[in-house]
Structure 1
Amino acid sequence: MGTDQDSGEFVREALGVAERITADGSSPWPVEAGRYRLVGARACPWANRVIITRRLLGLEDAISMGIAGPLHDERSWRFHLDPGNVDPVLGIEYLREAYEKAVPGYDEGVTVPAMVEVASGKVVTNEYALLERDLSTQWRGLHRDGAPDLWTDPEAIDEIGKGIFHDVNNGVYKCGFASSQRAYDRAYDALWSRMDELSEHLSTRRYLVGDSITQADIRLWVTLVRFDAAYHGHFKANRHKLTELPVLWAYARDLFQTPGFGDTIDFEQVKQHYYGVHASVNPTGIVPKGPDTAGWTTAHGREELGGRPFGDGTPPGPPPESERVPAVG
């Protein structure tokens, strides 16, 4: 992450290892069950997008998952929740080690999600947007029976996804890391203009594109679910709390209660990361006790809008025991 010195605007770093894993031989990395390990973090929305996609498609047996803890330092994400502070499969303490195996002398950002080849310990890709698309397309042969189609209308999904990325997903970061009032004001206005637009869009339809969950919903939801816990206060995105926005709050609860979404969220790790790592924003490192999360399991009423969450598919089963998160409330 960085800030433009002239404008004070937040600038997201380029992704450092943007290879692809394909089934058609178009890359050096073939689709193969058990070959790769997805490294994510419960705190990170970008990783959460891929974690949800993997859950919905039923790829848990084909792609194992390691979870970096919420706290890290300049050396990168660290496996401090695992015994001995070491990922049990990759045998590393810091994710940077896998990046350096792939690119000796690596000096770009160390981010999650990252797909790592288990045998070599090398990061194959940290390109989250392409990875989530490839999980739906290149990995189709390993999907569970009943896996949903998350790309029912790729053009519409990408079109609405652009605005979500720039103004919402990245927009909250632009608010939080702005170093000038002008940059903050511009990001804040763009965020809330887009949130109002999305609220209007969702007031008469259950999902963003079509009548079932698509990748567009995953992209928006990972920011909404963290909004009150982190972005409203920590990033000064504070016109309203999510709980004060009737349409988006109901939409977010609907998805939270859908298998594959809420069962990937650990609110404590979200707060520990944002308030504990961003010293420039929260120099004391104090982590707030709130907000109350009990509301996430209350009735949302979105069923009245119709729609079929998984289209012609079926819900995923429960997450593996090792991947379960604490219940809310």
Structure 2
Amino acid sequence: MKAFVYDHGKYQVKDMPDPKANAGEVVIALKRAGLNHRDLFIANRLGDGKEALVIGSDGAGIIESVGKNVTNVSVGDEVIINPSLRWRENTVAPPAGFDILGMPDNGTFAEKIVLSAEQVEKKPSYLSWDEAATLGISAMTGYRALFTKGALQAGQTVFIPGAGSGVATYLIAFAKCIGAKVITTSRYKEKQEKAKELGADIVLDSNSNWDKELEKETVDLVIDSVGRATFNKSLALLKKGGLMVVFGSSTEDTVELNLRDFFYAQQQLFGSTMASAEEFHEMLALMEKHRIHPVVDTVFTLDEAENALHYLEQGKQFGKIVLAINDD
């Protein structure tokens, strides 16, 4: 099979052995794969000596073969992949043994993948292959941050800095479908307009005076993934007793926190990452109920995977980037 791999210090498209399904496993002929920022960090984590690893965490395709004792899917089923490995029930933190598909295991940027049958779910029929391939890291991360950790309710207001990321587009759609108010930001005019089209109630310029523009708003929840560049500006908007959830740090990892201001305001700060299979099912049910369509920015071919990574790294996309693997 053809695959996009990180091999001894460089990315390349390479022929790899076709995977085989052992007991409890399935082989999926992939139609599409979704990109995530995690894919950009593989080189930093593996260095130059690692043998060929297929990267990629998100994907959708058709069951090609099944191993013994597989009962939840059959050959020919259209499925999506849950990239959150070995985390079944919704717990306060991932259990021991938790990993994310795509490192250290081979991932989705390939014509085929083998994985435990527990990691696949039926593809929602109303979604295209492009859309279905994005229902992994971003959607799961957004759902857990917003509902499990953030406990967002109808009528509340959530502030989401950075409107264009894949997770942010899911956050906006999820929050709006339950009747919450959404405030978000972007430094790009085009992304500001797209966020409004997606349903955001207020969209600010990233470089504007947030305190002044939102002085009449009550922010119940902040979901931040930017890091140092926005952390304290976001926290300053949060109401007394409000809650902030952090799931990423696309700028600097470390921040300064005024502890006195924080504890006097009796605010709450939660970390979050990925989600359990239980939450994955809840997220799919929410999407189907409200017929939520993921936002797909650009589709590249598998041969163009390195260009797709460069495009992701530039951060100009609004929504998700997808690899088209097989259209047969």
Q: Could you say which structure has the higher helix fraction?
A: 1
Structure with the bigger percentage of strand: 2
Q: Give the number of the structure whose alpha-carbon radius of gyration is greater.
A: 2
**TM-score in same-fold range (> 0.5):** no
